[in-house]
Structure 1
Amino acid sequence: MKINKKIACFILSTALIFTPFLVNIHSYAETTSIDNEEDKREQEERERQEEQRRQKERDYYVAVEMYSDFPKLKNDTQNTLTVQIKNTGGSHLEKSKIKVSALPGEISLTGGSSTTQNIGTIYVGNQTSVNYEVQVSKDAKTGTYPITFEFTGNYGTSVENYKAYSYSKTFYLNITKTEKEKDKSQYKPFLIQNIKHPAIINKGDVADLTFSIKNPNDKPMSSIKVSVSPDEGIVNQTQGVFVENNFPANGEKTFNVKLFAQDKAEKKNYSIKLTVEPTNPTEQTDSKSSEDSNETPKILPTSTQYTGIFYNAPDKDEVDGVKNPQIIISSYSYGGTYVEPNQQFPLTMSFVNTSSQKVLRNIKISLSAEEGTFIAVNSSNSFYIDSMSPNSSVTKTINFVTKPDATTKTVAMTIDYTYEDTKGTALTAKDSISIPVMQKTLLSIDDVAQPQDVMEGEPVNISLNFYNLGKTKISNLKMVASGDFTVQGENSYFVGNLEPGKNDSFSISAMPNDPNKISGVIDFTYEKLDGSIETAQKKFNFTLNPISPMPDNNNMDDIQPPKHDNKIIYIGVGIAVVIIIGIILKKRHNKRKKSQELDLDE
């Protein structure tokens, strides 16, 4: 009994020693238990939300896909947009609808159409189509425009447990301006060219006039009439009218006539009119009969060209039986086919003393342009010639500059002569020449804009702006895009005429062959006022950084970090303490028992 009392005392003292420790363990366990309860509630809430998501999908896949191949739209036109909806999931979709949730401002629904259309039931694997009738605004600019469709439907085993499903997709519409059709009602007029004849004829002279005509069309003309009509006072000594049947396509022919002056003709310049016209004044077709052809008959416009010959008639008033002399300009050139504003050009002129007997002296020649269009450079617009022998000629060159604001037209240059004969008689004369002015054609093209908001798998918008910064109209303007991409729609745009001071834009929707870059070129062709064809290019090479679509958070499983059960840890610690205490008590008990046995033996 004494031993048991000692053991009891030892246990009691040990308990007193470990009591604070155990109390702390218990307090910590209670606190940890509260935290565990909160974690448990959060975990249960997450599981409940996950269960709701899974329940919404009802343990099978629910999905639709939308397809469309929209036509390329043109401004101020009506079109039909068709959208295909296919049920690609594992459940029938009831009470399905489709809605245009984002419609570009350049497009409106026609016929009172609603943005929402009922589809009904779409069974698994089936598809249906929906049509929208739309009107494109006449002011719509060329470009790519987004349009978004939203699908909604119900799925489930019965009405009581139906769940809602929705899906949306954005497509891209390509809008271009309506191309202006070229005038197909007329052929190109014949060209009258290579006109040659003497500049001056005297009494009794016969002037040989030669010229050629050319058919610029790709089709032969059935019958044309060529006429040579001089002013009254000049007579055509030979045939004046020619009729040509089946004039070949792109063919050319030369004609010759002989002209002379009548006795009553005055001393002056006589105009000669050259004309090419169809024999039927109202309609002209090619050699193929219109009855055998489905083509609409075309009209051949009349071509007209003028030239002139100066008749040096004997003067009625003669001094000592000799005619009064005249100075005329026999030829002139200005360095090309036309002059440009704010540009310098040399005007070279040849002057002839038409008298065969008189010497002319103290000759002053002055030039003046209509509206002051031409200004002499580093010199006067007048010059002096000391004398000119009978029938002699003098060539002079004066540099002129065309004023910057000169408009495109043919400008008259007036030439005034003052001179004297050998007796000091003062004489005057006047002449004129024509110089065409052509304003520069100036097409300015911006660089291609860097594509923005590039989405992976979606087309890239390539666009640029261009301007007519000149003072003349640009005709038949067209652009074509090409490069390492596939164009969705047309790759060209025909502007037609671009008036001075106007601008426009060109854009395409292109799918890059390489998702990380896109390069290509946009070729411009246009026609200047003089009919010549000009070309221009804009190259581009861009590095793309496609943005991946945002992942669907609803389809991502929540990943929770592993948690330990703190309650089990605390219990384990408690058991370990009890075991340690038990071992210590047992050792002490065995030691005391052994000591008692030794005492008894003694």
Structure 2
Amino acid sequence: MALLFSVMTPNLVLANEDRPKEDPKIVIARDHWMPVYNAGETVNLSIPVENMTNTSATNVRVTISPAGDTFPFEMDKMSFTKYAYSLSGRSVFSYKVTIPANTKPGVYPISVNVYYETDYGLTGSESATVYVKIENDYKQPELKLMGVDFEGERIPTGKSVLIKLKIQNDGDLDLKDIELKLNGFSTQGISLDNWPDTQYVKSMKGREIKLVEYRLFLDSKMESGTYPLNLNLKYKDEYDKEYTKDTKVYLPIDSKGEDDLTPRIIIDNYYIPTEYVEAGEAFPLTISFFNTSETTTVKNIKISLNSDGQVFTPVGSSNSFYVNEINPREVIERTIVLRPKVDAENQNHTISADIEFQDTKGNKYSEKEIISIPVNQKIKLTISNIEKPPQVFVGSPTGVSVDFYNTGRTLIRNLLITTEGNFDVQDGTFYVGNLEPGTDNYYDVTIISHETGTLEGKIVFQYEDGIGNTYLLEEPFTLEVMEQEMPPMFDHGMDMNPPVEPSFMAKWKLPIIIAGILLLIGLVTFIVIRRKKKKQEEVFLDE
């Protein structure tokens, strides 16, 4: 055993002597690196990886994988990994990826892992989350019901009729495996006349319109009016992503069998001043009404507007208005001011127009028309005061933090936080993703300044609302950067004899400096502990 030890000891000493002073230090994609790609393209995702030391890393393996629920790339799984014989200095690892045209715009997190070895037997790894931004100019897949075609202006009762549903692919991408299911029938109302309730369309090009036929039978005891049926749509895009949508089919029914002589009032058009209305803010709604009859004047017209859940309420008037008469083939316009509820959801909300009127002989009629108004819920991101030390020293890491809150009523989407300024940033990119209403979070960043004086920087918040509008919020801050005090250096020729008794201030100068440093360390420690405790409380509440 003694001989074995004496043989092995020199080798161990040589190994220690040959080992470099520092191991490889791998940095993946320095802060602010965030490429921007367009959906529908095939691109090279190039990730910079840097070895910050002079010690070479060997047998390097770099892998990428999803860091969240979604991965914006299509690629062969074999190409998720790249290799390099050695890594000294900066290298770029490229991955050929395809971004599907149906990828939602936003910021996506990507997990990057680097594995390596060294010539002296060390194995190591480094990981980081990087972010890529995807922009999409394609109109995304949406199948819409554009209307219903049938003979005449109204559908007579007591007969079998053929209707044609006009559907349009309102997006830029191709659709396939389209399924339409019509339901809501009754034996004493509208029923299918030996016709399947489900129809299929093999495919539709972008913006293409097609007609889908159904044969219906209308019971003779039905009264005149507008009757709804339910239409369920199911379809896939060219990337096999499945979509579903439910809508209504409104059928105008005439129980008198005198369709050619029956007057009708329909909503010919409607418009609002902007693309969408803001929740809680009043807006004017202008509606045009059209008398479809070529011979009959309609009179004594009452129009009442209602919305599901009373999402819209009138401002300065009632929800009804009166029109004396509309001549044959005449169009009139009326404007009403409405206000959406402050907590109205981000979506299209329907308004129904119940129309009652008479012809010249006093016969009474009623119609029901439906329109849709898009409502946008305002988002509100509130930022607290930035927490920072009163002064920092050149070359020393300094922590800066800030709390932020979603004080609005809707989801904040794709929240990304970065720090900018004339300093180095460590761990400066934080992708929050979605921030629910009433929740909060915090952001910590470490900065290093290389100059004295007043340091200026800003924390940048980028986010989106529910309809894709982009917002940018910047919180500036300043720090006073000081030169670090170096300990006194003694010359060998100096007299080392103790000097004359120093003054009172000289005695206490060093203890005061030490106390200040300890106080600063305590303050930083307090902030870190407070934040960790806060995060633990949030996790506890979530559970």
TM-score interval for Structure 1 and Structure 2 normalised by the shorter chain: 0.5 to 0.7
CA contact (8 A) 1:268 1:310 kept: yes
1:131-161, Cα deviation, whole Å (9 max, x unpaired): xxxxxxxxxxxxxxxxxxxxxxxxxxxxxxx
User: Tell me, what secondary structure is at the counterpart of 2:482?
Assistant: coil
Matched, 1:304 2:245: yes
Pairs within 5 Å for 1:367-382: 367-382=305-320
Q: Relative to 1, partners in 2 of residues 1:408 and 1:425: Cα closer, same or farther, differing over 3 Å?
A: same
CA separation in 2, counterparts of 1:66 and 1:545? 30
Match of 1:241 among 196, 200, 203: 200
Matched, 1:209 2:161: no
Shift of 1:462: 2.5
Q: Look up the equivalent residue of 2:499 and give its one-letter code.
A: Q
Pairs within 5 Å for 1:195-206: 196-197=146-147, 202=152
Q: Look up the equivalent residue of 1:255 and give its one-letter code.
A: I
Q: Look up the equivalent residue of 2:476 and give its one-letter code.
A: K
Give the number of equivalent residue pairs.
355
CA separation in 1, counterparts of 2:400 and 2:291? 67
CA separation in 1, counterparts of 2:285 and 2:302? 17
Match of 1:530 among 448, 464, 467: 467
CA separation in 1, counterparts of 2:353 and 2:499? 101
Shift of 1:344: 1.5
Matched, 1:394 2:332: yes
CA separation in 1, counterparts of 2:363 and 2:314? 30
Shift of 1:363: 0.9
- Percent of pairs identical after alignment? 25
CA separation in 1, counterparts of 2:311 and 2:471? 27
Pairs within 5 Å for 1:535-574: 535-546=472-483, 548=485, 559-561=498-500
CA contact (8 A) 2:267 2:288 kept: yes
Q: Look up the equivalent residue of 2:178 and give its one-letter code.
A: V
Residue 142 of structure 2 is matched in structure 1 by 192
Structure number with larger C-alpha Rg:
1
1:56-84, Cα deviation, whole Å (9 max, x unpaired): xxxxxxxxx99998999xxxxxxxxxxxx
Shift of 1:476: 1.9
Match of 2:321 among 383, 400, 405: 383
Q: Relative to 1, partners in 2 of residues 1:541 and 1:455: Cα closer, same or farther, differing over 3 Å?
A: closer
CA contact (8 A) 2:285 2:335 kept: yes
Residue 106 of structure 1 is matched in structure 2 by none
1:193-230, Cα deviation, whole Å (9 max, x unpaired): 676447886269986835225466xxxx9x93124555
Shift of 1:544: 1.9
Q: Look up the equivalent residue of 1:516 and give its one-letter code.
A: G
User: Tell me, what secondary structure is at the counterpart of 1:366?
Assistant: strand
Shift of 1:361: 0.9
Pairs within 5 Å for 1:407-556: 407-408=345-346, 410-446=348-384, 448-488=386-426, 490-546=427-483, 548=485
Q: Relative to 1, partners in 2 of residues 1:201 and 1:536: Cα closer, same or farther, differing over 3 Å?
A: farther
Match of 1:347 among 276, 281, 285: 285
Shift of 1:263: 6.4
Q: Normalized against structure 1, the TM-score is what?
A: 0.48
Shift of 1:506: 1.4
Q: Relative to 1, partners in 2 of residues 1:323 and 1:233: Cα closer, same or farther, differing over 3 Å?
A: farther
CA separation in 2, counterparts of 1:544 and 1:199? 75
Q: Relative to 1, partners in 2 of residues 1:180 and 1:333: Cα closer, same or farther, differing over 3 Å?
A: farther
Match of 1:255 among 192, 203, 209: 209
CA contact (8 A) 2:463 2:470 kept: yes
CA separation in 2, counterparts of 1:207 and 1:352? 23
Shift of 1:240: 5.7
Residue 163 of structure 1 is matched in structure 2 by none
Residue 50 of structure 2 is matched in structure 1 by none
CA contact (8 A) 1:474 1:499 kept: yes
CA contact (8 A) 2:287 2:333 kept: yes
Residue 316 of structure 1 is matched in structure 2 by 256
Q: Relative to 1, partners in 2 of residues 1:262 and 1:394: Cα closer, same or farther, differing over 3 Å?
A: farther
Q: CA RMSD in A?
A: 4.7
Q: Look up the equivalent residue of 1:504 and give its one-letter code.
A: N
Residue 303 of structure 2 is matched in structure 1 by 365
1:466-521, Cα deviation, whole Å (9 max, x unpaired): 22121111122111223322223x22001122111222221211111314343333
User: Tell me, what secondary structure is at the counterpart of 1:416?
Assistant: strand
CA separation in 1, counterparts of 2:309 and 2:209? 39
CA contact (8 A) 1:225 1:242 kept: yes
CA separation in 2, counterparts of 1:269 and 1:550? 90
Q: Look up the equivalent residue of 1:212 and give its one-letter code.
A: N
Residue 115 of structure 2 is matched in structure 1 by none
CA separation in 2, counterparts of 1:428 and 1:255? 31
Q: Relative to 1, partners in 2 of residues 1:199 and 1:415: Cα closer, same or farther, differing over 3 Å?
A: farther
CA separation in 2, counterparts of 1:478 and 1:463? 15
CA contact (8 A) 1:195 1:211 kept: yes
Pairs within 5 Å for 1:277-288: 277-278=235-236
Q: Look up the equivalent residue of 1:304 and give its one-letter code.
A: K
Shift of 1:441: 0.8
User: Tell me, what secondary structure is at the counterpart of 2:208?
Assistant: strand
CA separation in 1, counterparts of 2:257 and 2:209? 39
Matched, 1:268 2:226: yes
CA separation in 2, counterparts of 1:323 and 1:401? 39
CA separation in 2, counterparts of 1:519 and 1:482? 9
Residue 226 of structure 1 is matched in structure 2 by 178
Q: Look up the equivalent residue of 1:393 and give its one-letter code.
A: V
CA contact (8 A) 1:192 1:303 kept: no
Shift of 1:343: 0.8
Q: Relative to 1, partners in 2 of residues 1:227 and 1:517: Cα closer, same or farther, differing over 3 Å?
A: same
1:528-572, Cα deviation, whole Å (9 max, x unpaired): 12233333333344332355367699x99564249xxxxxxxxxx
More helix by share: 1
CA separation in 2, counterparts of 1:253 and 1:466? 42
Q: Look up the equivalent residue of 2:436 and give its one-letter code.
A: E
Q: Look up the equivalent residue of 2:400 and give its one-letter code.
A: I
Q: Relative to 1, partners in 2 of residues 1:341 and 1:552: Cα closer, same or farther, differing over 3 Å?
A: farther
